[in-house]
Amino acid sequence: MDIENHTLTRGELFMNAVVFVAVSMILVVPRGPSLLGIVLAAMGILAFAQKNAQLAWAWQWPPLKHMALGTAFFVMVGIFLGIWYNTKLSYYEAFAPFLLTPLMLSGVLLSRLQPAVLWLGSATGALLAGVYASFQSLVLLTGRATGNMSHPIIFGDLAVVLSCIALFGVLYFDQARRTVWLRAYLLLGASMGVWASLLSGTKGGWFSIVMFLIIFAWHISAGKPFWARFVGILGIMALLINGVLLAPTELVWDRLEGIWHHSQHWFETGEITDWSISVRLEMWSYALQLFAQRPILGWSGDVATAKLAEHLQAFNVPASIPHVFENDLLHYAAVSGLLGVTSVLALYAGIFIGFWKFEKQSTLQTRSAFALMGMLLVVLIFEFSLTCNVLGRSSFRYFFCEFTVILLGLMIMSAKEDASSTWHGFILKLKQP
């Protein structure tokens, strides 16, 4: 997975550079995730114009069909429910990034996107997110950092994903394993992404940070004595604790402490005492009530959110709190019943199984790395969706689709190059006397 710019045409180099900039700026420019999607889709349109989309070849891979079927089922169910409940046209915008995935994949294949764009672009994106968050929270004193996202949760969660990709680069980017400064840059980017998440005050993503860093420490210390690996994990935990202590108390420590206090109070009294923990518990409880009343097709988005707003009035919840259930499974349970929940699970399961099958079929470490990162991406997004309405927010949807497509494209190109090399070797053997 070296930097192979010398093998690219000028057009391919330009497209790689544009994607690198779009990935690097994804959290610090307005509508960054949508901008990356537009870039990839525009490249896809160019691929179709040049009759070089390569989708027919890609479709030969069975794992891709699992991913496509899961995504198609999610989209078709969503469109059916939109027609069933006669929703506004704006409702269908939520499916745009999923419908654009064939175009985006064509764009990735046309540009012969290099792995370095993924690894270094994510590290740069995480680094810029950390710098931006520091300026907002420590210089401007604006409180929770938001980057250029519409909400701190989006900014903090996506910064975690960029950090994880950068750490994957430390393990699997060949050039970085041989070059100290590249390895240091990836580690710096990963650290700044974690710092950005801490300054965002996004509790939902912090479990992912701990989980991934422990896995990273365990993997990177493979072959060493158990005590050395255990010390490495303790070192990682010490760095995390140090980060918590360095961050402003109200952004990290107070929010961690409030998890237990506010949740315990809600379970004992049913009262909402904050706008993060107890209000979510109340929303989730009400979502289950709505689901129990209409379990098959739910209430529709407009009716369910209106009922939620009316329910929360009794608790004097500020109007600034979004009237969504902040849990994708429960949100879809209330809005679209079992059918909607099934479609969400099919989306995540289809993409995860596709990456898993790619990983099982991979004979090279390169493709295995992309597949493992894809599986981790699904796990991270799903984990975020347990405390946030991920599929209801445009930035999450575009980010998930774009990075899924990038990883998928890198796997397909790696497999194509491997097949070409095998065929070329076979021809050479035939020509030998």
- Could you give the C-alpha distances from 242 to 195, 198, 225, 253, 374, in angstroms and in order? 11, 11, 26, 11, 30
C-alpha Rg value of the chain to the nearest Å? 23
Q: pLDDT tens digits for 47-103?
A: 998 887 788 778 888 889 999 999 999 999 999 999 999 999 999 999 999 999 999
Nearest to 161 by CA among 270, 69, 23, 18: 23
- What CA–CA distance (Å, rounded) separates 233 from 231? 5
Instruction: Give the pLDDT confidence score for residue 163 in this predicted structure.
Output: 93
Nearest to 117 by CA among 413, 422, 417: 413
Tell me, what amino acid is at 306? Answer: A
Mean per-residue pLDDT over the chain, rounded: 87
Q: Write phi, then psi, for 93 (nearest 5 degrees).
A: -60, -25
pLDDT band at 131, cuts 50/70/90? very high
Q: What percent of the chain has pLDDT over 90?
A: 59
User: Which DSSP string corresponds to 222-244?
Assistant: TTS-HHHHHHHHHHHHHHHHHHH
Instruction: Give the pLDDT confidence score for residue 425 in this predicted structure.
Output: 44
- What CA–CA distance (Å, rounded) separates 398 from 65? 20
Q: pLDDT tens digits for 296-355?
A: 999 999 999 999 999 998 888 887 788 889 999 999 999 999 999 999 999 999 999 999
pLDDT above 70 for 426: no
- Tokens standing for 269? 């009294």
pLDDT above 80 for 6: no
Beta-carbon contacts of 45 under 8 Å, excluding residues fewer than 6 positions away, are 103, 107
- Could you give the C-alpha distances from 216 to 164, 211, 235, 285, 398, in angstroms and in order? 9, 9, 12, 36, 27
Q: Within 10 Å of residue 276's Cβ, how many Cβ atoms? A: 17
pLDDT above 70 for 205: no
- Tokens standing for 149? 């996202």
pTM over 0.85: yes
Instruction: Give the pLDDT confidence score for residue 253 in this predicted structure.
Output: 65
Q: What is the mean pLDDT of residues 133-140?
A: 93
- What CA–CA distance (Å, rounded) separates 139 from 181? 29
- What CA–CA distance (Å, rounded) separates 296 from 240? 44
CB 120 within 8 A of CB 169: yes
CB 167 within 8 A of CB 184: no
- What CA–CA distance (Å, rounded) separates 388 from 328? 7
- Tokens standing for 200? 């965002």
- What CA–CA distance (Å, rounded) separates 246 from 133? 14
- Tokens standing for 360? 């099982």
CB 282 within 8 A of CB 315: yes
Instruction: Give the pLDDT confidence score for residue 2 in this predicted structure.
Output: 47
- Tokens standing for 234? 């303790």
Q: 3-state secondary structure string, 381-395?
A: HHHHHCCCCHHHCHH
Dihedral sign of CA atoms 57, 64, 73, 303 in order? negative
